[in-house]
A and B are shown apart, each in its own frame.
Chain A
Amino acid sequence: MVQDLLSRLGMQLPKEFALILPQVQLGIFALGILLTDFLLDRKSRWWNAVLALAGVGFSGKALWNLRNLEDVSAYHSSIVVDPFAVFFGFLFLISAALVILLSVRYLEIEDEHHGEFYALLLLATIGMMFLATGSDLITLFLGLETMALSFYVLTGFLRHRKASNEGALKYVLLGAFSSGILAYGFSLMYGIGGSTNLARIAQAYAERSPGDPLVLISLVTVSAGVFFKIAAVPFHMWAPDVYEGAPTSITASISVASKAASFALLLRIFCTAFWPIRPNWEMVVAGVAVASMTIGNFGAITQSNLKRLLAYSSIGHVGYMLLGLVAGTPDGFKGIAFYLLVYVFMNTGAFAIVILLRREGVIGEDIEDLNGLISRRPVAAILLLIFMLSLAGIPPTAGFIGKYFIFLSLIETGHYVLAVFAALYIAPALYYYFRVVVHAWMREPGGAARPTISVAQGVALAACTLFILVAGLLPDRFINFAGTTLQSQFLQMILR
């Protein structure tokens, strides 16, 4: 859109511009929404959502034009557009679209329907896309902070709810702390590498001895920062509080998109700069993965708040995905990519059901609020069952395929102990996911009213369900799509 307009005006843009066009489109729409919001009255605020969706659409179109590129770097190699970046870009845009669809009704009920919400969501998405395309420490840091700052504000968006204030405050304090630690690590990486470019830093790390104190401090600080962002144990304490306090549609976004973006950052750094010192971190990452699965899956058992329960379960999922990095094989990386793709749909779907329970005067986040959903709104109960099956990793849902690749990569590399751990933790996961289903299917409804489903919510729910079932039954296309990430140069370098 932007390019057409400018070329019609006779302006010639540098070729590199097309590479960041997806982000630019989102930025234009985000700024536009901030201004058009003043023209809209209370009743027509949903136009903001339409504009935001249009922005996501145009951005997706621009990204689609980049899909066949192989590793083009630009802007003094501060960004690189490769299949990895394109895959993650689509993931963030899908997530943003789903969250926008789910937000309209929810924000009206909360009486906080403002244009800023959509503008901040688009800005966060810009940050995520730069996280996936960045090949330079400065780009990565800025992308991360653009995303994080937007989410701090979005978490506290329900200004009159104390839980929202408190969640936002904890998020901003702990988030800024972890960003600071990460930045300290980045500054050391710059000192060691003599450049902010990741490829050059990787060369410098390969030449240094692995026991070098500067190398070790940079490894420790950067991993602490990144583990915080993906909410891996022992840096997970913020997740349940923030997930509970944030508006539910933002919780979906934080647990899905922000996590995927942070995984993109983690893979970019660990598979380039830190790959030469792999023996130093392999066991640590494996330990973090097992600890995350343990705390996540056992922590979820005792939760009675649905958002907290899903927060702990997401900590467990992070553990599974980290195991793919420990294996470090093509199947492992493909598994992480596929897992994240499926996770977008199944976790957003699960939060969508929680959003349905929110009505005037009913918070609807407690597990008891699900009681008798099958008789009140059968469709919602059936969809809930599908999402829970997928989260637990039961065939024929897509969640099973994701876990399958992780197991496969572990067995290929001889990590049998880890594979056994990962398999055992499915038992507690089954227990708490089915506890949710039991409440919806077997308990008496009491006096609770029928939840209604708006058109936008219906579209989002249908998309989530359709994807989980199609990708579960006919996974080939989607596995290939996730597999394209492997063609990126930085992964080719280490897999060769």
Chain B
Amino acid sequence: MTGLHSHRYYTSATMSPGYLGNYAPLLIHILVAMALAGVLLSLSALVGPHRPSREKAQAYECGMRPTGDARHPFDVKFYLVAILFILFDVEAIFFYPWAYVYRNLPRLFGFYEMLLYIGILLVGYIYLLKKGALDWNK
């Protein structure tokens, strides 16, 4: 569809046969970390004394009495902001391919094209603003 880049757009160096080999240290690191965590946890479970009491069984175990359930529903405003964030965040994704091909586009065409795109986003933004979706106290 783009038609602009039918050639291979990556160099062979990034995908050479030894490519996976670069990750070997990372793999060793993960294995050592996992082994260490396993050893320490099992040592404390095996060696340490167990004297459970009511105070200790409490959440946080810090002298504060827990008030209510931690899993209470959030205010719906948080969801709204999260949803709006996703939408305006994902919109930025289109700037990357645009920036990549910008030089190959006819003069100013790419500029106006992006201006149009942002214009449409602006309508959505004004709509949100007028609806009061961004007003936290509403």
Contact = CB atoms under 8 A, between A and B. Distances in A.
Asked whether the complex places CB atoms of A and B closer than 8 A, the reply is yes
Interface of A: 31, 34-35, 38, 76-78, 136, 138, 196-197
A102 B83 CA distance: 32
Interface of B: 1-3, 120, 123, 126-127, 130
A136 B1 CA distance: 8
Interface of B: prevailing SS: helix
Given A31-B120, A31-B123, A38 B1 contact: no
Nearest to A138: B1
A133 B118 CA distance: 25
Contacts of A34: 123, 127
Nearest to B120: A31
A76 B1 contact: yes
A142 B126 CA distance: 24
A196 B1 contact: yes
Contacts of B123: 31, 34-35
A77 B2 CA distance: 10
13 contacts: A31-B120, A31-B123, A34-B123, A34-B127, A35-B123, A35-B126, A76-B2, A76-B3, A77-B1, A78-B1, A136-B1, A138-B1, A196-B1
B87 to A, nearest CB: 12
A398 B130 CA distance: 47
A77 B3 CA distance: 10
Nearest to B131: A38
Contact of A38 (B2, B3, B120, B130): B130
A34 B127 CA distance: 7
B9 to A, nearest CB: 15
B104 to A, nearest CB: 13
B70 to A, nearest CB: 27
Contacts of B120: 31
B130 to A, nearest CB: 5
B86 to A, nearest CB: 14
Contacts of B3: 76
Nearest to B109: A14
A113 B70 CA distance: 40
A142 to B, nearest CB: 12
A123 B131 CA distance: 19
Contact of B127 (A35, A76, A136, A138): A35
B124 to A, nearest CB: 8
Nearest to B112: A11
Given A76-B1, A76-B2, 15 more contacts: A31-B120, A31-B123, A34-B123, A34-B127, A35-B123, A35-B126, A35-B127, A38-B130, A76-B3, A77-B1, A78-B1, A136-B1, A138-B1, A196-B1, A197-B1
Nearest to A139: B1
The 4 closest A-B pairs by CB, nearest first: A31-B123, A76-B3, A38-B130, A76-B1
Nearest to B122: A31
Nearest to A197: B1
Contacts of A35: 123, 126-127
Contacts of A78: 1
Contacts of B130: 38
B43 to A, nearest CB: 46
